[in-house]
Homo-oligomer: A and B are copies of this chain.
Amino acid sequence: MTTTLNASTHPLSDALLHRAKAVIPNAMYGHQDARGLWPGAPQFVSRTSGSRIWDADGHEYIDLLCSWGPIIHGYQHPRIEEAVNRQRQICDTANGPSEHFVTLAEKLVEVVEHADWAMFAKNGSDVTTLCLTIARAHTGRAIILVEEGTYHGALPWCNPDQTGVLPSDRAGLAYYTYNDLASVEKLVAEHSGDIAGIIVAPFRHDPAGSDLELADPAFAQGLRRICDENGAVLIVDEVRTGFRMSFGGSWEQYGVRPDLSSWSKAIGNGYPIAAVLGAEALRDAAGSFFVTGTFWFSAVPMVAALTSIALLEESDGVAHMFARGDQLVSGLREQATSYSLPVNVTGPATMPYLSFAGEPDHQFTLAWTAECAARGVFVHPKHNWFMSTALSEADVDAVLVATDAAFAEVAKRYF
């Protein structure tokens, strides 16, 4: 097959989209808007299982997006589903938490090296916001240093889109450049004595299809030193990275432990949960104010999380994901070289991203992902992908058959 998928191949998805136009602004919004994918991509999903998803018209894909991160053991992993099914018949959302609230906090404190305590919420934004509040409560200071242009959630303070947002919503922020310690030092000097903390992602993943950039260990270590010297709180945002760079904190490999970290996506294999993890010194500040959410204490996502973490531990899931990621990334690089295509594959092997160097408006990447999709492989043209433990070596081999054909098609059409 050499044709790009177009709207006519997804009549059921398109019919749903037509209905959606009447009752949802622009028919769809947010990161799952299919207009962020290749032209004519289907908007709706009808089925998921293991490493596969099916769009609303029944087309099957090997899924390398994992629901933008949450699915770390494949969809409907039998052991997680069994545990969930048992728990949901006993107790989920209730007047108080279940025992699993405590057990999950204990488990995360055991697994994540810097953590002495945990708090749970629902969204990534809930916990990045909580980290700022805790840092400000702890220090009595205002300013949080944030990477310029990055995304820590979709609330006014952290959403790169500033429509409907007031300048005052971001008054407590100052902006540094990733991997540029001098830009951080400059802000520390400018806001001397008023730096509450620094928030940073374990690797640079800016919105809208930027290539990924790993942290320079000296940058990570420098942030730790600057925080220590200035009594500021180091916050590592693990919402995207958690349990995919390490079975523990992502910056352990650089010898850097944050004071606070925010987690969400991969904790519960698709069940909605988020967590703040913190060091002992931040415990009092974390307990010094009222914060809550209607569904933050529900038992089912906590049981899913406990089972998911146990699976990672038992099977060395992170190593498995790195092995599959390395297989994929090295295969993609070989293929690109064989077609003499100017391809960048960036990011950790468990969360890679592929783009074409110097392309206008992601044109070649969009074409390439469309060709992958036409061959049953779901990869995102403007966002990093995610490995899962459900991907087998044979799955990645099958992915590479599709990506090779997609490279051939792009080479023929554009190069």
A residues adjacent to B (C-beta < 8 A): 16, 19-20, 22-26, 28-32, 34, 42-48, 53, 55-56, 63, 65, 67-71, 75-76, 81, 84-85, 88-99, 101-102, 105-106, 109, 116-119, 122-126, 129, 132-138, 142, 153-157, 159-161, 163-166, 168-169, 171-172, 239, 264-265, 270-272, 278, 283-298, 378
- The answer to whether A24 touches B118 (Cβ under 8 A) is yes
Contacts of A48 in B (CB 8 A): 90-92, 94
Q: Are A287 and B26 in contact (CB under 8 A)?
A: yes
Q: A98-B46, A294-B272 are in contact. Are A166 and B171 (CB under 8 A)?
A: yes
Given A133-B156, A172-B168, A290-B154, also A67-B90 (CB < 8 A): no
Could you tell me if B29 and A119 are in contact, using CB atoms closer than 8 angstroms? Answer: yes
Contact A93 B117 (CB under 8 A): no
Q: A84 contacts which chain B residues (CB < 8 A)? A: 88
Q: Which single residue of chain B is at the shortest CB-CB distance from A18?
A: B102
Question: From residue A174, how far is it (CB to closest CB) to chain B in Å?
Answer: 13
Question: B20 and A123: CB pair below 8 A?
Answer: no
Using Cβ atoms and an 8 Å threshold, which residues of chain B touch A47?
90-91
In the complex, which residues of chain B have a beta carbon less than 8 angstroms from the beta carbon of A90?
Answer: 46-48
Asked if residues A32 and B168 are in contact (CB atoms below 8 Å), the reply is no
- Residue of A25, A65, A76, A286 with most chain B CB atoms under a 10 A cut-off: A25
11 further A-B pairs in the complex, CB-CB below 8 A; given A25-B283, A270-B298: A20-B102, A25-B117, A30-B297, A42-B96, A46-B90, A48-B90, A65-B95, A71-B93, A76-B88, A123-B293, A154-B290
**A-B pairs with beta carbons under 8 Å apart, 29 shown:** A20-B105, A23-B102, A23-B109, A24-B101, A24-B118, A25-B117, A25-B119, A32-B292, A44-B101, A46-B91, A47-B91, A55-B96, A67-B294, A81-B89, A93-B272, A95-B378, A122-B122, A123-B126, A124-B293, A129-B156, A133-B165, A136-B166, A142-B166, A154-B291, A163-B288, A163-B289, A168-B169, A168-B171, A272-B298
Name A270's contact: one of B93, B138, B159 (CB within 8 Å). Answer: B93
State the CA gap A75–B90 with chains docked (Å). Answer: 10
Shortest C-beta distance, A279 to chain B (Å), equals 12
Least CB distance, A81 to chain B, in whole angstroms: 7
Kindly state the separation between the CA atoms of A84 and B300 in the bound complex, as whole angstroms: 13
| Given A45-B94, A291-B159, also A56-B99 (CB < 8 A) | yes
A96/B44 in contact, CB under 8 A: yes
- Give A155 to B126 CA distance when docked, in angstroms: 8
Nearest chain B CB to A265's CB is how many angstroms away?
A: 6
Residues of B within 8 A of A292 (CB): 29-32, 154
Query: Least Cβ distance of A404 to chain B in Å?
Result: 23
A24 with B119: in contact, given A95-B53, A133-B156 (CB under 8 Å)? yes
CA of A69 to CA of B292, assembled, Å: 14
Known: A25-B284, A159-B290, A289-B163. A122 touches B44 (CB 8 A): no
Least CB distance from A262 to B in Å reads 12
A291: nearest chain-B partner, CB-CB: B154
User: Which single residue of chain B is at the shortest CB-CB distance from A295?
Assistant: B272
- A272, B122: Cβ atoms under 8 Å? yes
Q: Which of A24, A95, A164 has the most CB of B within 10 A?
A: A95
